[in-house]
Amino acid sequence: MTPVAVRRPAAATVGQRSFDLLSLSMAFVLAVNAAHLPWWLSLALAFALGWRWWQRRQRTGRVPRWIKLPLLALLTLAVIAQYGNLFGRAPGTALAIGLLILKLLETETSRDVRVAVGFTCFTLMTALLFDQGLLSTVVVALGLLPALATLRALEPAQAPTSMPRSLLAPLALLAAALPLALLAFLLVPRLSTPLWGAPSQDQARSGLSDHMSPGGFIELLTDDHPAMRVSFDGAPPPPDQRYFRAYVMARYDGVSWTYRDVANLPPAALVVAHAVQYHVRLLPTQQHVLPTLDVPIAAPAGASMRRDRVVMAATPVDDALTYTLSSATQYELEPQLGEHRRRWLQLPAGFNPRTLALGRSWRQRYGNDDAAIVRAALALFHDGGFRYTLAPAPLGRDAMDDFLFDTREGFCEHYSSAFTVLMRAAGIPARVVTGYQGGYWNKLGDYLLVRNSDAHAWSEVWLAGRGWVRVDPTAAVRPERVSLGAAAAAGDQLGWYHRDWLQDFRNRWDVVNRWWDQAVTGFDALRQRSLLTPFGIRDTDTTTLGVLLAIGTTLFIAIGLAWALLRRQSRDPLRQALRELERKLARRRLARHVGEGPQHYLSRAARALPSQREELAALTRRYLDLRYAHDEAPPESVHVFRRAVRDFRVKNVVK
């Protein structure tokens, strides 16, 4: 006998509300990650998402394979073309989000939706690989609302509700999950290395580089993200002394300045007249250099000091780093230059002839008075019609000639570079120093906030009897750059985002970000091991954490279960709605008999009220479905039933 093949029934197609909520979830994922994706990829994925949503409203059904497969191949090739491979944080995120959007093309059944929701939650979390700040974390958490609402929309007998109302129940679920999330945050053992693997070069915000050319700072000067936070043991230094040294650049090739480490030489001699001690919380830079106030006296633990008093960490700063050191604000740095003098006079041949001629003319005019030559250069910048701008004209091969004699506009890179070349042409040892200058003193948090936009470049000249002396030629053109900060110097060039009131708000808000950084982002394995120190346990091992996590989870589940049972016993809104309906019918002498079930009672009432038979039948069906078709009736559906009972008005009874 030939066996009969059993045909599996086709899965039911999901409703439009579930599809709309899923599309909203994916749109949220794309929005929170748009800043980390190439603009053209974000635009293409947004178009694909919108087209699929529109196409689904016109006609249900999966998109044909002859469309999906070429799109999948095109996505893969686009990611490889943009990043060079498919591995790493940025390309992996781009590929995952692209695959998520393509998943929507084949989503039609409940199983498809559930798989897509799980993938949506995973890709949503990729935004935290780029930014773990407070606002980013809250936004990602809110992104779970449409995903949870999508799952609730798949439940049977869901009453139709508005889109905002459908998000209320998921919001309550998130709020209820916060205690368990806090417990897991504190007690789940921390990994000593990142789960994602070795961080890529783009993991940190754009930071200072070991080379500088006029115009190269523009990305930093328009980047308002925090670079570091500094607290002082005592009063902070005045604004004109808030220079944070990073790189000291000696080599100049006619276009760019480059930092070159001088190995196996002790730090330059330093005579300290006044010093301050401070603590730096440096955000990730992917570089070894540690910015220090003015001239550091000694390197902090885990770092070393180079010949030019540049402090380098042993490993790149991949995570936020806190270090403490002392720096001299009044000093003599390298009083005797000796054999190193030639290093600070080097200039390439064949570049900037007019600039070199100007520097040599000052030497002829002022003789051995190096201080007079410095004053002449600063007077040139102050009185020579120069302008501070973040959008300077481009420079040619002889960049310093073009800047000094033609364009006469630029920012700190232009002025420090031109000044240093002029000094070397005049025979004065000089160098370019890059780092940060200024910052916002947050009185509430008692710390100095230094942003990437506070990046700055200045010069140092060596004067006999004084050693290396800091000279900031930008201040000769735009004094506000030193006294009021980078945003004030730029004026309206940075647009509405850098308006004074908004800048002040962001600076004050940073105290919240600092707390988040210390309490949450900075909660590492070391701090976790000292979690129970107040209770007499100096080092909390993994076993202890696991036991505490199990106990806490059990208590949390027990409390939640007890609360749910008590709430169910003390309050049954469905029963209350039925009693209200019974009271309305009893006023018309249609009281419920002892032992009479709801179905029989309402059927009897429908026979006595022929004009309202359909209305009572609908109420009966809805009540029976809510009472017996669910372990727990959906709150939205119960609310709809209660409103229908409240609106029900009993008419004349037929005897």
The catalytic site residues sit at 412, 456, 472
Helices (H), 154-271: 163-166, 168-187, 218-221
- CA–CA dist 587, 154 (Å, integer): 40
Residue for token pair 């009972």: 645
Whole-number Å distance between alpha carbons of 241 and 222: 23
Amino acid residing at 259: Y
Neighbouring CB atoms inside 10 A of 361's CB total 13
Q: Which of 191, 192, 187 has its CA nearest to residue 540? A: 187
338: alpha, beta or left? (left if phi > 0; alpha if psi -120 to 50): left
Residues 534, 599: Cα–Cα separation, whole Å: 62
Structure tokens at 651: 């008419």
| Separation of alpha carbons 97 and 41, rounded Å | 10
**Left if phi > 0, otherwise alpha if psi is -120 to 50, otherwise beta: which for 27?**
alpha
Residues 6 or more apart whose Cβ sits within 8 Å of residue 207: 220, 227, 285, 286, 287, 452
Are the beta carbons of 644 and 602 closer than 8 angstroms? no
Q: Tally helices (H) and strands (E) across the chain.
A: 24, 18
**Distance (Å, rounded) from C-alpha 622 to C-alpha 628?**
10
* Nearest to 186, CA basis, from 535, 515, 531: 531
The C-alpha atoms of residue 628 and residue 495 are separated, in whole angstroms, by: 61
SS3 state at 249: strand
Query: Which residue has 């202890």 as its token pair?
Result: 544
Which residues, at least 6 apart from 71, have a Cβ–Cβ distance to it below 8 Å? 48, 102, 105
CA–CA distances in Å: residue 223 to residues 131, 159, 487:
14, 48, 11
The answer to whether 245 and 339 are in contact (CB under 8 A) is no
Q: DSSP letters along 77-105, please? A: HHHHHHHSSS-SHHHHHHHHHHHHHHHGG
SS3 443: coil
Identify the CA nearest to 316 among candidates 342, 284, 349. 284
**Can you tell me the distance from the alpha carbon of 572 to that of 163, in angstroms, rounded to the nearest whole number?**
26
Query: How far is the C-alpha of 531 from the C-alpha of 465, rounded, in Å?
Result: 54
Region at 84 (left for phi over 0; alpha for psi -120 to 50; beta for the rest): left
Residues forming beta bridges with residue 246, ordered by sequence position: none
245 alpha-carbon distance from chain centroid: 26
